[in-house]
Structure 1
Amino acid sequence: MKALCLQPLALPDQLADLAVEALIDEADLSPKPGLVDRRGSGAHGDMNLALMHASALSLWPCLRQMAEAAQRHGEIAAPLRAELGRLGREGEAAMLATTAGVNTHRGAIWALGLLVAARALSPLSSDPHTLAARAGRLALIDDPAAPAQDSHGTQVRRRYGAGGAREQAQQGFPAITGHALPQLWRSRAAGASETHARLDALLAIMASLGDTCVLWRAGQQGLDALQQGARAVLDAGGSASLAGRRQLRALDARLLQLNASPGGAADLLAACLFLDKAGSL
């Protein structure tokens, strides 16, 4: 009897697997202030953990196709950017069909799609800072087929001057490379569990990001509460410390009181987890 010989997965399949895994890991991480997690729906009455899982899984074909497109085009240029835009819109439609119209991962499609494509463009280059910069170069290219939208993010940018997901991508994801990844690695090096290290990375994003999801729901008051509360957790020793956990509970309570959900930070945490593992492929 011959032994079963499994062929290694192609890179686009591996990248799609890794991106979906990052989305599920972000959803499962608990306790996340104001966000859907294993405890409940946070500030989202229309979401739950099962819905987040289903949404993440619905994006696998889109993410694989983005990696395939990057391999096929082979360079950062307008044709690849246009195809990524089309695939992203198709992925968003699949997500909304799965969630009955609930916007669970629109920002994550943008961030992870760019990063998946960046990784597929250069299979031998896996440094997180290099990948983020390459994704930023892609994000700077206009997509002429993108429909004009007066989305919540657009309205918030107009009112508050916050850059949001688009600016983060175009700048090479500074909230990830400058804050989340260094904090993730510091917390691990200090002996924190993986859960606490990931929570600390999320808090580092929250402390630095002008989260347009929070601004839409709770205005500048909500953003100030998010940033100051996240800094207080980290300054108290992080989520692994007793003092940090007290601050984390206080931040969660305040965000729920304000009905403020830091969805932008959650999307970037998923992108951070993807970058953290992308080098292992």
Structure 2
Amino acid sequence: MVWTNAAQCGEYLASQAVAALLEEARLTPKPGLVDEESTGAHDDLNIELMIRSATALEETFAEIGFTAYRRLPSQLLREEIAEIGRQGEKVMLTATGGSNTHKGAIWAIGLLTAAAAMLDPGASPFEIASTAGKLACYPDRYAPRQSSNGSRVQRRYGVEGARGEAQQGFPHVIRIALPTLYQARRHGVSEKLAKLDALVALIANLDDTCLLHRGGMEALLAAKEKANMIRATGGVSTRIGWKLLRELDEDLLVRHASPGGSADLLAAALFLDRLHAGGSGGPVILKRNEAYARQV
């Protein structure tokens, strides 16, 4: 897709952002997460709410793309995007009756949407993520001062969290999720299982603040161990890997813990994947996708 003005850019990027959120929400089965089979470890969420929330956020992402079109990273732009994101959170809460479905995704995909709008169409995932990282490094002087679950977990456990991930240029998206997704596709794995492999790779590597908040360090380490076992078997497309995926789900449900940070980064990876594949997503892999996969 080649956009020629800010409105067209914002509309296109928003459509791909929502499509990525819907892909992530409908991916089934996801351990500890809401999907089309269950509500995972969440008492206040379900697939209908996830879909309603994602759809409601289209105007938010469109406004971010419109605002960032052809601009350079700056504190002013950072603060403008942040305010749009905060308004998007209100839209999300209205759509869901007060449930936090996509706060982390608004942060991650909002920054990536802004970065994509700042660059030429066809920019690589690395270029978009790097630009998003530069934007995230500017301070937001108007950010609310109250402590969040994420910030409390970061202080307690000394982990980077969503802010650190963004400021570093989304390394888990660029170095973990996308390469895993592309490798699985090259090996002929189905699209669903390739995306699940990418999610498992994120769980295995990310210090997920959602897991830490809900289950502490024990839950995080147990989830990482099981996810690494799945990867060692060759992924969820193997019989043993699929069995271990189900075991990971059961373990997270017992702990009432959910890898929500990994889910947000999977959605971010799917967004970049859709942009890099010309908005098609799915099993079609362009030559530039393959070249990018070899680079990372």
Whole-angstrom CA distance in 1 between matches of 2:147 and 2:9: 36
Cα contact 2:41–2:252 (8 A) shared by 1: yes
Whole-angstrom CA distance in 1 between matches of 2:177 and 2:148: 27
Deviation for aligned residue 1:75: 1.1
Whole-angstrom CA distance in 1 between matches of 2:184 and 2:209: 27
Partner of 2:96: 99
The one of 30, 33, 40 equivalent to 1:32 is 30
Deviation for aligned residue 1:71: 1.2
Partner of 2:52: 54
Spell out, residue by residue over 1:166-220, the C-alpha distance to the aligned partner (whole angstroms, 9 max, x if none): 1100000111111100100010011100000000001111111000001000000
Matches within 5 A, 1:164-183: 164-183=161-180
Whole-angstrom CA distance in 2 between matches of 1:137 and 1:53: 31
Partner of 1:3: none
Matches within 5 A, 1:241-256: 241-256=238-253
Partner of 1:192: 189
Matches within 5 A, 1:93-242: 93-242=90-239
Percent identical: 47
Partner of 2:16: 18
Spell out, residue by residue over 1:92-127, the C-alpha distance to the aligned partner (whole angstroms, 9 max, x if none): 011011111111100000000000010000123420
The one of 82, 87, 98 equivalent to 1:85 is 82
State the SS of the aligned residue for 2:69.
helix
Cα contact 2:122–2:275 (8 A) shared by 1: no
Seen in structure 2, the aligned counterparts of structure 1 residues 128 and 170 have a Cα distance that, compared at 3 Å, is same
**Aligned pair 1:273/2:280, yes or no?**
no
State the SS of the aligned residue for 1:146.
coil
Cα contact 2:89–2:103 (8 A) shared by 1: yes
Cα contact 2:64–2:114 (8 A) shared by 1: yes
Deviation for aligned residue 1:22: 0.3
Could you tell me which runs of 5 or more consecutive residues in structure 1 were left unpaired when the two chains were aligned: 1-7
Whole-angstrom CA distance in 2 between matches of 1:120 and 1:155: 32
Q: Considering only aligned residues, what root-mean-square deviation do their CA atoms show, in Å? A: 1.2
Whole-angstrom CA distance in 1 between matches of 2:210 and 2:202: 13
Spell out, residue by residue over 1:240-278, the C-alpha distance to the aligned partner (whole angstroms, 9 max, x if none): 110100111111111111111000000000000001111
Could you tell me which runs of 5 or more consecutive residues in structure 2 were left unpaired when the two chains were aligned: 280-296
Whole-angstrom CA distance in 1 between matches of 2:241 and 2:106: 32
Whole-angstrom CA distance in 2 between matches of 1:69 and 1:11: 10
Deviation for aligned residue 1:57: 0.8
State the SS of the aligned residue for 1:233.
helix
Cα contact 2:115–2:128 (8 A) shared by 1: yes
Q: Which amino acid aligns with 1:118?
A: A
